[in-house]
Structure 1
């Protein structure tokens, strides 16, 4: 079958690059975004808006020398915006013309950072008529606001800026946007969990390691390598999960055997196991209710997908090999260690089950907590969409991730940690042609320094007693109205993508998701504090120990666990501590440890007869990215990887 290159991305004319900032995209030489403020002019028509914040757009791509030049001129570089644009603060009060004359690099445009650039379109339009109640907003500031405004939290960031969350009346919102210390304001949308034979599909439990009999790097022509099956299970890796809660929530009391540590005991009866402690290092309560338990079940399931040891389905000690053997429903790193941040408030009737109240009131805790220094990999199975930025927009949460991860460096100066973030479950067939449309990526999944994870199909079409969500039409008939998706089983073909998995790209045309991993009918640990009738009534409980869920929530921890095993293997192979494996290097290795899924699971004759003149996007959707290529081929995954459906492909670390 002919492999088609993705032709849907626009070819940007580099002599006229757009500016993309807070939902605005346009040529700053031709227009300034229209808003509530307008350019403040005196009677002679002169611009008298006072600010020391400027946008500088360069004529072409640039390297570190440009930033170094600006900083040497006593300017603070606060942000980069596509394309080729820095947001800077002049600390010496110089005029625009003076600054322009002293920057040696070729500048295409330079202008004041007007209030209209600081908020997404529609934010003030929606709120201006409703001045009776406060709403939460994310703010990025050069200094905190005066105490007259109600703050939820204020976090000083590693780059010296302040990420804050405030409760504001609409009239207060308009007041602060033009303040000299204001960089931007975004809506705060409640964060939500993203759940709607994975380990074997990813092949994360072992690697074929080539060991040569003589200590040279390249084998001699007459020498064949010895292939040794080398098991890596993540014993050196520490994962952090922020989610609803973890099992009973008591590290020192009862936490499922799936999270405990065992060793081989030749003196014990089969399965020859001896418990030697827990692998749960700590559980933090960030919701403020002094309750770390998981009454919903989502957090325990996600943690189990990383490091469950299959105690109830096949863990045993092999006396001949003197090692543990994992089977059944083991996670992708069944010897890994866990730090958990319990975010659900379990005792407020105004909050729904599975809420993430702790993250809504204290997002910085997701990465900045007392045990942060020992964490290698974070797994986040939650997110949201900022309605004013729209799908694929770069939101405050994404910027928070990028800032913290880029500045959290080790002794060698390299970033150390990697975040795995769920892409979202908003995939839809909007125009009834049996093909999932693009542009459904959660705004929280657009960060640059993370790994965004979409969901592929698992290989578990049916399971005992309750075929929960067997077909896509059972999940959401409105989102999947046409075949071949409508009647398809959600977990019968690992070659296919989960229809609900959010597709990219980002609004600045970056490829997301980065990878996909199995996310349908995933079996993992059932919380002992979860409402069992709740699970059995909806058909989601496998038995009293395990439960079944679907979503990019489930794909994300599986990918995170596999990446932890890969990091451990890399550390062992190059003989460096885990902390000396840079996060960007691990991400690069991970993107190559993928299996391309093009063209997907469906044949062309399975699609409905459709009008090929009908564009991909339905009424009200964004126009196609490339006007010369408005149609997608009749394939589940129309283009060869990397693409905005599967990213670089399905994770396969073998």
Structure 2
């Protein structure tokens, strides 16, 4: 790190203090620390001020960025790559050009070189003389795909020890000595450097102290009670009775594969369900599922229940699927492509508008990393596909206070635009793992004290699975967004020889399992039903992902205070506050509520959006002792993995009462806002969506979805 960087970077702990004391456009909020750009005028002689080659700089403005600011930069022949908080854009050009631009534009606060020190993730082991030659696998994100080959060549030129380079889109994966990571970050064209994530499927491996925990099952369906698939807790039956079964919906799944990987020889529960399949696993020639996880997931989404005479169906059993297998026969493990957009683009081309993913990286908790930004980038460009990700299974009580610890969210579930799903409890007494948590081998380390330790994992619909990852994200955003049953879920078993029985086989066709892996496909099935409702009942032909997400959270059940009641934090109360919170998000999926949405609920899918400084308002009539529940969701522009805050375009949801009082969450972190009030006086209220800051809008505006119910 050069002297300028040392001078400008303050400790991360001081970001809040700087934010409070500084005016807009004087602080850069980066993961590396807070940069006070007001001090730049006192620094002279930085070597980069003599640069003649074009490279990346940060241009910070004194006020919120306008379309005019961006137009002026483009007119001066600068490339604009993205936003950094506060009020800054990353551009490419020469310093001499930028100096001229700054001199001609009174609104520019400062120009800062995009230093390598700003680009390195905090997840690396600290560099030292002891590890400088140790090989580490790094994921390098470039600003443009056309930068990648040149960046890879420059990485290779740093040291003969650099090996194993893979270039894919805007990603370069390389094996380099730890001591070279900073040099890699200094290369022009590099946006971010992080350890290469290790992706894994999010089913939980739970074992009893002496042997695999489980119960004997008849296997002939005579012992089934109807609660085994998780659909009962979610109230799918009510939606099915109304004809909402996922008809005309296409869901894609990226996982370990799907059964035989051949449509003509597929498990009978997928007969007529699969329209296409693709192999994405490293060195894979087929999308078959030799592991079993993906088949179980697919069964929860849309299994027909044929083998069980209709008893064990997925949530959207009339929907269709695009299957994407990511199992690598060479690695004998999950193999996720570094360019995630390939998964989504292939499925989108085949008609899918929902994409479910029960996997992620469980090593860098809460990080808005290169994978999360990729997902947000693709979502922002394709706003009518809703992507779901599992939250992860890293929930534990390490501090032994009887509550699951915070801050264990997995990427890409940390992305802003996805629907991130945590696991609540299924309610079933037969099959799977039916022992007290203290009988599990890992309990003494992960869940050592009551009330968790003596609990069962499938005995309370208002309980959260103890293994389900909790938020918030590293930048304070609320995650997960929603929860669904993820304990003791019975679904389809892969017919590939050697496939895992997961939590135990029920018979040759079905197996038990658990994890946020199981909660996510059930939620995908519910989202398919929601999309059908929006199309057929509400009359919205092509609902946006934001509207689907808003509908899901609007109909969710607030599980506060959780399964142990209002006993207080000191005694292990599971959920401490009303929604939204980073235990349950906005609550548990309720498919009956989705199907029964009536005329009191208003759906607004504003694809034109709201501009910065503008507002769009709606009149809301409330009866005596009335209530209002409103959810605002927008698909935000991708943030930077180097920023301390991921939010880019900031909207506000504001309610103005008949007396003129204004009520708002005043949230400038999340791209979801809500207002939930009861006991309101009768009258006409104004519900407004305001454009607070929109530095990266489309045509200067941010599209949004708003769902509200007034009574």
TM range, smaller chain: 0.7 to 0.9
Alpha-carbon RMSD: 3.2
Q: Matched residues in 1 for 2:400 and 2:433: separation?
A: 26
**Secondary structure of residue in 1 paired with 2:376:** helix
Counterpart of 1:375 in structure 2 is: 352
Find 1:330's aligned residue among 313, 332, 347: 313
- Residue 455, structure 1, aligned to residue 417, structure 2: no
Q: Which has the higher contact order (CA 8 A, sep 6+)?
A: 1
- Residue 500, structure 1, aligned to residue 476, structure 2: no
Counterpart of 2:559 in structure 1 is: 597
Give matches, 1:377-416, under 5 Å: 377-385=354-362, 390-408=364-382, 415-416=383-384
CA contact (8 A) 2:366 2:409 kept: yes
- Residue 560, structure 1, aligned to residue 524, structure 2: yes
CA contact (8 A) 1:140 1:185 kept: no
Counterpart of 1:583 in structure 2 is: 545
- Cα distance change, pair 506–467 in 1 and its aligned pair in 2 (3 A): closer
- Cα distance change, pair 24–434 in 1 and its aligned pair in 2 (3 A): same
What is the CA distance between 1:280 and its match in structure 2? 4.1
The answer for unaligned runs of 5 or more in structure 1 is: 1-9, 33-38, 157-161, 209-228, 262-277, 316-327, 409-414, 610-633
- Residue 202, structure 1, aligned to residue 234, structure 2: yes
CA contact (8 A) 2:239 2:245 kept: no
TM-score (norm 1): 0.74
> Structure 1 residues 48-57 or 443-452, which shifts more?
48-57
- Cα distance change, pair 19–456 in 1 and its aligned pair in 2 (3 A): farther
**Secondary structure of residue in 2 paired with 1:368:** helix
Q: Matched residues in 2 for 1:607 and 1:640: separation?
A: 14
**Secondary structure of residue in 2 paired with 1:154:** strand
TM-score (norm 2): 0.69
Q: Matched residues in 2 for 1:207 and 1:568: separation?
A: 11
Find 2:405's aligned residue among 423, 437, 440: 437
CA deviation vs aligned residue, 1:239-265 (integer Å, no higher than 9, x gap)? 11111121111112x21111113xxxx
Find 2:433's aligned residue among 467, 470, 478: 467
Q: Matched residues in 2 for 1:76 and 1:473: separation?
A: 59
What is the CA distance between 1:573 and its match in structure 2? 2.7
Counterpart of 2:5 in structure 1 is: none
- Cα distance change, pair 57–426 in 1 and its aligned pair in 2 (3 A): farther
- Residue 293, structure 1, aligned to residue 288, structure 2: yes
- Cα distance change, pair 19–541 in 1 and its aligned pair in 2 (3 A): farther
- Cα distance change, pair 645–31 in 1 and its aligned pair in 2 (3 A): farther
Counterpart of 1:339 in structure 2 is: 322
Q: Matched residues in 1 for 2:69 and 2:587: separation?
A: 35
Give matches, 1:228-239, under 5 Å: 230-239=242-251
**Secondary structure of residue in 2 paired with 1:483:** coil
- Residue 417, structure 1, aligned to residue 425, structure 2: no
Counterpart of 1:36 in structure 2 is: none
- Cα distance change, pair 456–470 in 1 and its aligned pair in 2 (3 A): same
Q: Matched residues in 1 for 2:70 and 2:587: separation?
A: 34
What is the CA distance between 1:498 and its match in structure 2? 1.1
Counterpart of 1:76 in structure 2 is: 79
CA contact (8 A) 1:297 1:530 kept: no
What is the CA distance between 1:370 and its match in structure 2? 7.0
Counterpart of 2:101 in structure 1 is: 99
What is the CA distance between 1:531 and its match in structure 2? 3.0
The answer for unaligned runs of 5 or more in structure 2 is: 1-15, 157-162, 205-226, 594-711
What is the CA distance between 1:124 and its match in structure 2? 7.2
Counterpart of 2:57 in structure 1 is: 54
Q: Matched residues in 1 for 2:102 and 2:125: separation?
A: 32
Find 1:643's aligned residue among 576, 581, 584: 581
**Secondary structure of residue in 1 paired with 2:583:** coil
CA contact (8 A) 1:41 1:49 kept: no
Q: Matched residues in 1 for 2:143 and 2:442: separation?
A: 41
What is the CA distance between 1:360 and its match in structure 2? 4.8
Counterpart of 2:692 in structure 1 is: none
CA contact (8 A) 1:286 1:365 kept: no
Q: Matched residues in 1 for 2:480 and 2:243: separation?
A: 29
Q: Matched residues in 1 for 2:76 and 2:237: separation?
A: 52
Counterpart of 1:569 in structure 2 is: 533
CA contact (8 A) 1:285 1:343 kept: yes
**Secondary structure of residue in 1 paired with 2:148:** coil
Counterpart of 1:427 in structure 2 is: 395
CA contact (8 A) 1:205 1:233 kept: no
Structure with greater strand percent: 2
What is the CA distance between 1:520 and its match in structure 2? 0.9
